């Protein structure tokens, strides 16, 4: 069989689900070089694993692999160490080589039908070779109990020569907003290691909680480790905001931290602890108010956001931070200490006589330079202890001759990419983690179908498309980009299952862009490896997202007043099954073969199916069809929220959604201070007697119900007469929602229908933001 025929057969098996294993070379991240061969190496009870003597790290790696394989298969494969020459029917050999081309993390795998040889120069290389072997084996290798006898414990013949593209390959987890047990942290590290990440960024402190025991300052965990309650829903979800009334807290003892550090080391993962300074410090100030610029009182934050109370740059504050970091450095032996530095308002410093006097004394021009001074103090002290700081890209703001951070300081670029590239041009090492690509707390699919998340939209394909080292950068700049990191903030992720759902499979995409040469990345190829990744995660008990398999819907109003709904799936090999009667679609439901034509309002539901099995989650959309659908609509004042919105969304047949931040609401349009005045041209004179309009209520963001809604009609589009006015209450508060207002009236013949939602103009007295500009926002308008 030729190599090309073998490739296509393997691809067919991967897509159809027949054969064992499902996909021939389903390694993520994709190796730097892989030569496919015919045949397979099969592990059996008589397989021998041979390792060189006198290499305890390699022996541990081999023992762990054999233990996992024996546990999953029921075999009793043994290890032979040293120069023994006992032969075996088939053999896996680990061979140490002196080869600089492999570096410290590179490896080779030479797999033939009767033998596998693994070569590496360093233990980390052997470890990553084993991770690739795991991924070449059937996904049942990670089963919790021995698999059924029908599993073929084989790997496809191949030659792999592999080493990472980037030195720093990181995954972050915020445990300050929500706390996660040591058992989950270890599982998180397991998944990092399997996908060849080598760094775990542990975000341990923030406004909402201090999560690491500091023996010299016990109140950090006794007081700062707890908040009295937690916000329910998004920040703008309710007015007033709603809280659960439940105390929340937790922290890691120093013994637990040491245990996690040891565990991570065994997986060749370095942990970088983050201690936030000088902002995001309410948990510190709640415990030790003397480090604030005012007398307080302070309390650990119960909601999310950016708070103006920050650490004050007293000498005693620096002493406190040095004491804390001394204990932290004793626990974390890695080269880096992350000191935060992001989202630091300067209000407290502007109002502090001490800070203003200090700025004069230091000849600092503004508070940004004062933050640079603050960072430089910590930087110098950390350097004196033989370590380096990492800070968010704000640490480069406020440049001053008397407040310089050292060239050793590493910049973590999150506000896009430019901050990191600028720092790299200045000679700083940089880690790229731009929020628009690799923040994994963002929504990854249609917000209306997804669990609660931070906001914004970063699907799997967008994450995969990112390149942390653009090819057009000069080599002198490229050399300062250490690597890339995916960040996971947990404001809205309260459980391990929620974290896993947001992280996987997007973290697999980040692993590939960090490890695989850019020329080897290929989105279609990556998607072909997803089915095996998902089976592997199933066996590992990971609650990942299947959003890649979601059905996407796009509606087009037609000239006859009907609505055409087109369904599409990312996975082109999957069928789409759907319903329009409100029932849940199954593998036996009607198959989608052409666009659906709706002549009346309907709920369309759809799901992806492969080989007679549902593989995705059911997606559901409510569509409106009325005399207004697809007609011409004009607004007297152009809509400006969300930005660049087209007013036609008000009659396009699709209902809107308020999920996410205010600028992320979908299929709605709003105007500020003025009335929302929409005129619909029905194209010909028709008899109507009912108008409905969806109106957004989000008073926490100054989006108020109108004081009244009026319907007026006209035959010529010039002279209108009012047929119905309904008063509404703009002071109505509560949960963010779309209120559908119905206006009925005696039947009337007209061509033009004008709907006016009368804006109150300013937020009324008695409301939290009284006197500020008020918005009116509308959703779908229907006419009957």
In this predicted structure, what is the pLDDT of residue 84? 56
| pLDDT tens by residue, 29-49 | 999 999 999 999 999 999 999
- Cα-based torsion angle of the residue sequence 659, 392, 424, 436 in order, rounded to the nearest 10 degrees: -10
User: Per-residue pLDDT for 88 more than 70?
Assistant: no
CATH of 172-388+488-539, one of 3.20.20.80, 3.90.1580.10, 3.90.870.10, 3.50.50.60: 3.20.20.80
User: Per-residue pLDDT for 750 more than 70?
Assistant: yes
Map out the domains of the chain as residue ranges.
Answer: 3-162, 172-388+488-539, 550-623, 632-783
- Please provide the size of the chain in residues: 784
Tell me what the mean pLDDT of segment 263-268 comes to.
98
In this predicted structure, what is the pLDDT of residue 3? 34
In this predicted structure, what is the pLDDT of residue 590? 97
Tell me what the mean pLDDT of segment 227-251 comes to.
95
CA-closest candidate to residue 119, choices 136, 133, 98: 98
| pLDDT tens by residue, 645-682 | 899 999 999 999 999 888 889 999 999 999 999 999 99
In this predicted structure, what is the pLDDT of residue 368? 96
Tell me what the mean pLDDT of segment 466-489 comes to.
96
* 491 vs 736: CA distance, rounded Å: 19
User: Helix and strand tally (H, E) in the chain?
Assistant: 18, 38
pTM of the model: 0.94
In this predicted structure, what is the pLDDT of residue 591? 98
* 244 vs 229: CA distance, rounded Å: 6
Point out which residues pair with 776 in neighbouring strands: 671
Tell me what the mean pLDDT of segment 575-597 comes to.
97
User: Coil, helix or strand for 416?
Assistant: coil
User: Per-residue pLDDT for 2 more than 70?
Assistant: no
Please list, in sequence order, all residues whose beta carbon lies within 8 angstroms of the beta carbon of residue 501, skipping any fewer than 6 positions away: 451, 543, 544, 545
Provide the CATH number for the domain formed by 3-162 in this structure. Answer: 3.30.379.10
| pLDDT tens by residue, 113-140 | 999 999 999 999 999 999 999 999 999 9
Q: What angle do CA 193, 199, 201 make, to 5 degrees?
A: 120
Task: Find out whether 131 and 125 touch, Cβ atoms under 8 Å.
Answer: no
Tokens matching residue 168: 């720093």
Tokens matching residue 36: 């496919």
| pLDDT tens by residue, 310-352 | 999 999 999 999 999 999 999 999 999 999 999 999 999 999 9
Please list, in sequence order, all residues whose beta carbon lies within 8 angstroms of the beta carbon of residue 510, skipping any fewer than 6 positions away: 171, 438, 463, 484, 485, 486
Residue located via tokens 């032979």:
80
Task: Name the pLDDT band for 762 (thresholds 50, 70, 90).
Answer: very high
User: Per-residue pLDDT for 602 more than 90?
Assistant: yes
User: Per-residue pLDDT for 781 more than 80?
Assistant: yes
Residue located via tokens 């509560």:
734
Task: Find out whether 38 and 3 touch, Cβ atoms under 8 Å.
Answer: yes
* 199 vs 482: CA distance, rounded Å: 12
Third-level CATH fold of 550-623: Immunoglobulin-like (2.60.40)
* 733 vs 363: CA distance, rounded Å: 49
CATH of 632-783, one of 2.40.160.20, 1.20.1250.20, 2.60.120.260, 3.40.1080.10: 2.60.120.260
In this predicted structure, what is the pLDDT of residue 83? 62
User: Per-residue pLDDT for 309 more than 70?
Assistant: yes
Task: Name the pLDDT band for 21 (thresholds 50, 70, 90).
Answer: very low
Tell me what the mean pLDDT of segment 153-163 comes to.
97
User: Per-residue pLDDT for 8 more than 70?
Assistant: no
What are the CA-CA distances from residue 518 to residues 31, 46, 235, 295, 339 (Å)? 11, 40, 38, 53, 31
* 289 vs 299: CA distance, rounded Å: 9
In this predicted structure, what is the pLDDT of residue 145? 78
User: Per-residue pLDDT for 15 more than 80?
Assistant: no
User: Per-residue pLDDT for 285 more than 80?
Assistant: yes
Tokens matching residue 680: 């619909």
What is the pLDDT of the chain when averaged over all its residues?
A: 94
User: Per-residue pLDDT for 94 more than 80?
Assistant: yes
Task: Name the pLDDT band for 148 (thresholds 50, 70, 90).
Answer: low
In this predicted structure, what is the pLDDT of residue 7? 33
Tell me what the mean pLDDT of segment 584-609 comes to.
97
User: Per-residue pLDDT for 428 more than 70?
Assistant: yes
Task: Find out whether 625 and 563 touch, Cβ atoms under 8 Å.
Answer: yes
User: Per-residue pLDDT for 784 more than 90?
Assistant: yes
User: Per-residue pLDDT for 20 more than 50?
Assistant: no
Which residues does the annotation mark as catalytic? 343
Please list, in sequence order, all residues whose beta carbon lies within 8 angstroms of the beta carbon of residue 218, skipping any fewer than 6 positions away: none
- Cα-based torsion angle of the residue sequence 728, 733, 737, 743 in order, rounded to the nearest 10 degrees: -10
In this predicted structure, what is the pLDDT of residue 663? 84
Task: Name the pLDDT band for 404 (thresholds 50, 70, 90).
Answer: confident
In this predicted structure, what is the pLDDT of residue 87? 59
Q: What angle do CA 90, 91, 93 make, to 5 degrees?
A: 165
* 49 vs 80: CA distance, rounded Å: 6
User: Per-residue pLDDT for 197 more than 70?
Assistant: yes
């Amino acid at each position: 069989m030729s190599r090309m025929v073998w490739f296509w057969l393997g691809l067919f098996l991967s897509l159809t689900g027949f054969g064992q294993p499902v996909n021939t070379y389903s390694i993520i991240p994709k190796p730097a070089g892989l030569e496919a061969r015919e045949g397979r190496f099969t592990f059996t009870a008589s397989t021998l694993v041979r390792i060189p003597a006198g290499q305890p790290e390699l022996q541990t790696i081999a023992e762990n692999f054999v233990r996992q394989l024996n546990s999953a298969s029921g075999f009793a494969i043994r290890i032979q160490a040293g120069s023994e020459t006992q032969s075996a029917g088939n053999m896996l050999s680990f061979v140490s080589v002196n080869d600089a081309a492999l570096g410290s993390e590179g490896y080779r795998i030479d797999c033939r039908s009767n033998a596998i040889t693994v070569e590496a120069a360093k233990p980390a290389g052997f470890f990553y070779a084993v991770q690739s072997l795991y991924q070449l084996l059937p996904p049942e290798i990670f089963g919790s109990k021995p698999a059924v006898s029908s599993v073929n414990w084989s790997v496809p013949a191949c030659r792999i020569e592999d080493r990472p593209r980037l030195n720093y390959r990181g995954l972050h987890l915020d445990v300050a907003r929500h706390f996660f047990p040591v058992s989950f942290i270890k599982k998180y590290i397991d998944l990092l290691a399997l996908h060849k990440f080598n760094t775990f960024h542990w975000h341990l402190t923030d406004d909402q909680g201090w999560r690491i025991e500091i023996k010299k300052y016990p109140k950090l965990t006794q007081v700062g480790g707890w908040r009295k309650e937690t916000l329910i829903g998004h920040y703008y979800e309710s007015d007033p905001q709603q809280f659960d009334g439940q105390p929340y807290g937790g922290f890691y003892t120093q013994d637990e931290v040491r245990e996690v550090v040891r565990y991570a080391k065994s997986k060749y993962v370095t942990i970088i602890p983050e201690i936030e300074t000088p902002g995001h410090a309410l948990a510190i100030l709640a415990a030790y108010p003397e480090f604030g610029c005012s007398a307080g009182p302070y309390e650990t934050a119960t909601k999310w956001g950016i708070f103006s109370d920050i650490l004050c740059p007293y000498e005693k504050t620096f002493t406190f931070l040095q004491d804390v970091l001394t204990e932290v450095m004793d626990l974390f032996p890695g080269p880096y200490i992350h000191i935060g530095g992001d989202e630091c308002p300067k209000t407290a410093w502007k109002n502090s006589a001490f800070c203003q006097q200090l700025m004069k004394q230091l000849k600092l021009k503004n508070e940004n330079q004062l933050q640079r001074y603050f960072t430089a103090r910590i930087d110098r002290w950390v350097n004196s202890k033989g370590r380096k700081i990492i800070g968010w890209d704000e640490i480069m703001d406020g440049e001053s001759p008397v407040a310089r951070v050292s060239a050793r300081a590493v910049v973590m670029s999150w506000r896009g990419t430019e901050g990191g590239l600028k720092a790299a041009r200045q000679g700083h090492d940089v880690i790229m983690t731009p929020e628009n690509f690799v923040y994994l707390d963002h929504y990854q699919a249609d917000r209306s179908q997804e669990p609660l998340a931070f906001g914004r939209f970063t699907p799997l394909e967008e994450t995969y498309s990112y390149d942390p080292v653009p090819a057009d950068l000069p080599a002198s700049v490229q050399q300062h980009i250490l690597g890339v990191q995916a960040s996971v903030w947990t404001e809205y992720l309260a459980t391990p299952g929620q974290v896993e759902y947001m992280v996987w499979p997007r973290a697999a995409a980040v692993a590939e862009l960090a490890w695989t040469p850019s020329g080897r990345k290929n989105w279609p190829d990556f998607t072909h490896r997803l089915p095996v990744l998902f089976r592997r995660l199933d066996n590992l008990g990971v609650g990942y997202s299947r959003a890649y398999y979601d059905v996407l819907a796009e509606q087009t109003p037609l000239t006859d007043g009907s609505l055409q709904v087109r369904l599409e799936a990312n996975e082109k090999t999957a069928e789409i099954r759907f319903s329009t009667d409100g029932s849940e679609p199954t593998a036996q439901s009607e198959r989608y073969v052409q666009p659906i034509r709706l002549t009346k309002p309907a709920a369309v539901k759809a799901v992806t199916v492969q080989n007679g099995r549902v593989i995705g989650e059911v997606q559901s959309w409510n569509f409106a069809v009325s005399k207004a659908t697809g007609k011409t609509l004009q607004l007297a004042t152009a809509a400006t929220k969300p930005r660049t919105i087209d007013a036609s969304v008000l009659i396009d047949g699709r209902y809107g959604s308020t999920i996410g931040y205010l600028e992320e609401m979908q299929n709605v349009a709003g105007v500020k201070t003025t009335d929302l005045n929409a005129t619909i041209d029905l194209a010909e004179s028709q008899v109507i007697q009912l108008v409905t309009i969806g109106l957004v209520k989000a008073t926490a963001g100054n989006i108020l119900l109108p004081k009244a809604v009026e319907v007026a009609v006209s035959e010529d589009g010039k002279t209108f007469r009012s047929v119905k006015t309904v008063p509404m209450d703009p002071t109505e508060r509560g949960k963010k929602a779309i209120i559908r207002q119905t206006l009925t009236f005696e039947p009337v013949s007209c061509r033009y229908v004008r709907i006016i939602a009368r804006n109150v103009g300013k937020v009324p007295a008695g409301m939290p933001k009284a006197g500020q500009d008020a918005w009116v926002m509308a959703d779908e308008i229907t006419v009957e």
